[in-house]
Amino acid sequence: MSVKTTTLPKKYHEAVLRWKDVFLPDYDFLIENWDKHFPNDQTFQLCAYREMGMCAEVECGDMKGKPKAKKASELPEESAHHLFGAIRAQASTEFGSIQQHRLTLARAQEEEEQFWILRMMAEELRHGYQMLHLLAEDDWSSVSKDSTSDVIDDILSMNTGSHVLGAFNIDFDSFVDNVVFCALIDRVGKYQLQMQKISAYQPMAESMPQMLREEAFHLAAGVVPMRRFATAAAKGETFVTMEVLQKTINKWLPRGLEMFGDERGGGTNVRLGLKPMKNAEAQRQYYREVEKLVRDLNLRYLRARLENLTHGESEAVLDRILAGETVEGVRREDLLHMPHADFFRRRGMPAFKMTGSQGETFTSAHDYLQHLVRVLPESYRASRDYKDYADALLAVEAGTMTLEQASSRMPALRRVAGACPCSKSVRWVQDEPAAVTASEATAQPVA
């Protein structure tokens, strides 16, 4: 298969460059040092990639076997509506991820890990660029009342707190967030990209292969440091303990599960040929994959702590410890565990159910919040995001807010002073007949 590269129209390309200067100021430093850190990889290029020669027939759903649409106008209106929302949400997440990672990028303990995250941020910029290209090269007027300029301006004006999906509205508190986010939240991204690779909209399907290749590096930027953290913790180092890792996993896994949408949904996307799996099926596969990651981290911790163990022996010893046995001083409490799938959920079927991290059931909001004190990072519990959750939970218990109302408020999307402070940096310049203002329409999560 051949790969085609192209760029956005000049005004949009330059708008992304201005956005980059604000939110990714270390970009030039990354490019200058690329060969030092990534000598075997092609230097990063900001453009849209399209993989030519992919399957040209719809691969699932009611239209299976029919030619894929090359233009939005060739799609049924329902399909175009769902697809437009998905592209907008995808673009939002890519730019939102950069805004989160930049907060704690400088706190990396190792230069290598810092450059990994910096590369990941540049590639997220390209992923956002790819989605903007899908919006700019086609006519979406049948499903959007806003012009292309308005839609792109709106996306580039979003800031942490106003992005489409909740996971991208949570501030990072330490470099551990950068790492665990890559391992868990970018893993959701991998699932979404894999599913969209079969999209009935040919340009979307052709956009996925290069994004998936880059997403593999993003996962490694999370998994490899987590392995190092677990091994170092076993040897008594205190930079990142297993407790810190556990609490950070507890913070991000619930948000990752919610990114798949409500467990009862997704059938429409399958029927329309946009994705091959419903939400619940993809979510279950993701959860099992994270379980394997957690087990791998525990095995690495165990082998570093008990150096006499062989790889084969460590599997059996781990199972004994997880069953409650203490082996050579290692207890179950010393290891990581998977948070229950219903834990700390605010969307979907388990929303506000008050399920503990290990599946315990709580009947009092006060008791549940005390449980969260013990299992979530202290820095996160001081955040506005957590306060909004706690307030909503108490309101649900008091009967002053329904579950549906509480879920719809999570996260509470807001912009300080009405717009991103960088908005003037990314709007169109000179060649436009009039300045385009950012849309203030409330963003809605994609189901």
- Structure tokens that stand for 244 in this block: 């810190």
Whether 430 contacts 447, CB under 8 Å: no
- Structure tokens that stand for 373 in this block: 């004190």
Where would I find the H helices in 43-110?
77-101
pLDDT of amino acid 425: 42
- Structure tokens that stand for 103 in this block: 């907060």
- The structural domain count of the chain equals 1
Residue 432 to residues 12, 20, 41, 148, Cα–Cα distance (Å): 11, 21, 38, 13
Q: Could you write out the DSSP letters of every residue in 157-220? A: H--TTSSSSGGGGS---SHHHHHHHHHHHHHHHHHHHHHHTT-SBHHHHHHHHHHHHHHHHHHH
In a domain, 441, yes or no: no
Q: Say how far apart CA 396 and CA 68 lie, in whole Å.
A: 45
In a domain, 325, yes or no: no
- Structure tokens that stand for 394 in this block: 């108490």
Q: Say how far apart CA 45 and CA 40 lie, in whole Å.
A: 15
- Structure tokens that stand for 407 in this block: 């879920």
| Cβ atoms < 10 Å from Cβ of 303 | 20
Q: Say how far apart CA 445 and CA 261 lie, in whole Å.
A: 8
In a domain, 18, yes or no: yes
pLDDT of amino acid 435: 34
* CATH value at residue 140: 1.10.620.20
pLDDT of amino acid 311: 85
In a domain, 377, yes or no: no
Q: What is the reported pTM? A: 0.90
In a domain, 430, yes or no: no
- Structure tokens that stand for 307 in this block: 């150096």
Whether 204 contacts 275, CB under 8 Å: no
Q: Say how far apart CA 49 and CA 53 lie, in whole Å.
A: 13
pLDDT of amino acid 412: 53
pLDDT of amino acid 414: 45
pLDDT of amino acid 437: 33
Chunked mean pLDDT (size 10), the chain, 447 residues: 93 97 96 97 96 96 96 96 94 94 93 96 98 97 94 91 78 95 95 96 97 96 97 94 98 95 95 96 97 98 94 94 96 98 97 97 98 97 93 97 90 44 42 34 34
* Domain, as residue range, for 185: 11-306
Q: Say how far apart CA 244 and CA 251 lie, in whole Å.
A: 11
